[in-house]
Structure 1
Amino acid sequence: MAIPKTLQESWWQILLLALALALPQLLTSRYLFQIVLMGYLFSIATLSMNLILGYTGQASLAHAGFFGIGAYGVAILTKAGVSFWLALPFSALLSASVGFLVGLPTLRTKGSYFAISTLCFGVIISIVAGNWINLTGGYTGVVGIPPPTPLRLPWGGQIGFEDRKAQYYLVLAFLLLTLWVMNRLVRSLLGLSFMAVRNNEVLAGALGIDSFRVKLLSFVVSNFFAGLAGGLYASLIGSISPSTASLELTFNWLVYILLGGVATLSGPVIGAFLIPLIMESLQFLAEYRMLIFGALLIVVIVYFPRGAMGGLERLASKLQEVWEKRREETRGAVASQ
């Protein structure tokens, strides 16, 4: 019986999904469980950053700021009694709306000017979060954020999210949703417009692509998912502070993308999981672990400019070439006999 082609091409994705679904039953350490949960959350944020940086070519350094907007939005609304299922999309839309307003002037700049202007906005968000005491709680932050509201089922009953396994599957569902949306988006005509602007903005404009509109749309969608990740983070962690919108988070996600693979869908997820695991495994080196991490970053950027995923793709391509060459040689040897 022949195996369908789509199944042959996506077997590893099905295997990873099965592993992800079974992981809560395999993990007994609460510490490792928390690392995996944070990996899922940061994968959503990193994927959204990859859209504007990797696919559209615009280095936004305000990503943690929009993450923080989503986090504070969900924290404030749910503590006021609003359902999580209303607070989460509202906060994500708020992040997207603020991104639209910020993008109108900043996306008219290019290159380092855009990076610096978004960097300044990220700093402003962090400062506002630390000083608007009546709304954000200042540097104390917001504590006692309730977990996601139980989800009522149409046929009766409900799904609660106080249990860590239920929270795991909730974040996994949103990660899969983000991957699906990003996959559909980058493979569409709009995604081709994103990449055209990234590769050559002048040529894209000559072909009739409104580069400013394309960049603004990518920026807004990216910030929507950043706010979504922030809202999930606030609800599951239970407390937030201005560090939720810190520049350190933005640069961490940037490193995840660079090491995992720019302009790939699996690269940011790989980076969001591998880098924290490597850093945790090097805890015994204390501050010296950053030396090893820095050396690793230099090696990857120099020898694997497309990150780990790009390196794997190049290796797979070379192996495929060797396999095809040997198969042709075998066929030739058989034919000559």
Structure 2
Amino acid sequence: MRHVLTRRNGMIALLVLSLVFPFAFSENRYVLYIMTVGFIYVIAINGMNILAGFTGQLSLAHAGFFAIGAYSVGILTTKMELNFWLALLLAIIITIVLGFALGIIALRTKEHFFAIYTLIVGYLIYLLIDKWDGLTGGIRGLIGIPVPDPIGPIEFNSPITMYYLVLFFLLVSTVVTVRIVHSLTGRTYMAIRNSEELAQTLGINTRTNKLVSFVISVAFAGLAGGLYASLVRFIGPEIAGTSMVFTFLMYLIVGGIGTLSGPIIGTMLFVWLEQFLQNFQEYRMLIFGPILVLIVIFYPTGLAGAYNSIRGRLRSRRKKDRRALNTASLESAKIHSREVQ
């Protein structure tokens, strides 16, 4: 049984379930829509996790960069009438350039000062979107954002095709995240997270590595924002608001900050929990708040970390039981040997 319940088999099972999910709910467009939105959020939070979870730099401007990606796609497709795929590529490039420029300044600060600075940047992005009526539509937002242009015979004008398109980008972002974390670059990020001073004594250029991590993080946010714009086809300034970034942060903390599976677990859990609690929207934070506090107190690494911790304890207990059994068998054999003599 232990050979069956491995991490690799679990990931394969999740992939298979994701691929067959639309066939089970092909008639329920709303369920497919919610799953697709959840996948988009996971892409954004994967980027947030690279920066906050593995590099140790908590950025509170992530929703702002998510909005930059969404508005870039919206403006380029509705006002400049560009092809969606070109608009998405340009949106990611715009997000990266702005992230690079802001990261150079932001990463001169450390710890909570960095978080405060990025919170201010995120709020400034929100104000810019809200007040620049001529470009962004202001409080009215952008309406009529087109769906992605067809790729050959494949069109993206149905919930199922949009689901698979977003799932493809989710798989790509997850593979990229795993490759980064398990590479020398990922170990460098974790060294910076554990002790920036020690990393510097080892010859690591911490400022450059933090900047690269920041740029990768905002690139994921820009990609997710662009996909979100093409899915919902209407965006408003609220997607850059502080409530959005704290929602992202809640998904990451509950799922497991600094773990590979945390963004998926936390995001999909809360996305569906919010759907079940639609009749209690005004009490939403009264329900989520205690859950978040309990997880932070008892399992700082979230649900994924809790699972790993419990699994590790069970494995350690099995090893102790096996060692005790071997010792008892050896003692029994010695006593039997003496009796025979």
Q: 1:209 to 1:318 in 2, by over 3 A?
A: same
With normalisation by structure 1, the TM-score equals: 0.93
Aligned residue for 1:170? Answer: 165
- Give per-residue Cα distances to partners, 1:238-273, cap 9 Å, x unaligned: 111111211111110101111000111110111111
**Correspondence 1:112 to 2:100:** no
**How many pairs were matched up?**
329
* Displacement of 1:329: 4.3
Q: In the alignment, does 2:119 pair up with 1:129?
A: no
2:49 aligns with: 50
| Structure 2 partner of 1:155 | none
Separation in 1, partners of 2:106, 2:146: 36
Q: Which blocks of at least 5 consecutive residues in structure 1 are unaligned?
A: 153-157
Q: Which residue of 2 aligns with 1:15?
A: 13
In 2, Cα distance between equivalents of 1:89 and 1:286: 36
Q: Does the alignment pair 1:266 with 2:261?
A: yes
Against the structure 1 CA distance between its residues 201 and 6, is the aligned structure 2 distance closer, same or farther, given a 3 Å change threshold? farther
Check conservation: 2:33, 2:159, Cα contact below 8 A: no
How large is the RMSD of aligned CA atoms in angstroms?
A: 1.9
Distance 1:96 1:14, change over 3 A: same
C-alpha distance in 1, partners of 2:267/2:57? 20
Instruction: Give the Cα separation in 1 of the matches to 2:143 and 2:198.
Output: 50
2:13 alignment partner AA? L
- Given residue 10 of structure 2, which amino acid in structure 1 is its aligned partner? W
CA distance in 1, matches of 2:106, 2:5: 44
SS state of the match for residue 151, structure 1?
Answer: coil
Cα distance, 1:102 vs. partner? Answer: 0.3
Query: What's the counterpart of residue 314 of structure 2?
Result: 319
Letter in 1 for 2:53: G
- Displacement of 1:224 after TM fit? 0.6
Instruction: From the superposition, tell whether residues 107 and 86 of structure 1 become closer, same or farther in structure 2 (CA, over 3 Å).
Output: same
Residue 246 of structure 1, aligned match among 233, 241, 248: 241
When the two structures are superposed, what TM-score results if normalisation uses the length of structure 2? 0.92
2:300 counterpart of 1:302: no
Distance 1:40 1:103, change over 3 A: same
Unmatched segments (≥5 aa) in structure 2: 334-341
Residues 193-208 of structure 1: pairs in structure 2 closer than 5 A? 193-208=188-203
| AA of the residue aligned to 2:15 | L
Give per-residue Cα distances to partners, 1:123-160, cap 9 Å, x unaligned: 111111111122111111111010001012xxxxx211
Query: Which deviations, in whole Å up to 9, do the C-alpha atoms of 1:261-297 show, x marking residues without a partner?
Result: 0111110111111012223223334423422211111
Q: Percent identity?
A: 44
Partner of 1:40: 39
Q: Can you list the C-alpha shifts for 1:203-257, whole angstroms capped at 9, x where unaligned?
A: 1111111111111010011001100000000011111111121111111010111
Paired residues of 2:74 and 2:229 also in contact (CA < 8 A): yes
**C-alpha separation between the residues in 1 aligned to 2:276 and 2:85?**
36
Q: 1:88 to 1:7 in 2, by over 3 A?
A: farther
Decide whether the 8 Å contact of 2:255 with 2:266 is kept in 1. yes
Closer, same or farther: CA 284–6 of 1 in aligned 2, 3 Å: closer
Q: 1:182 aligns with which of 168, 177, 185?
A: 177
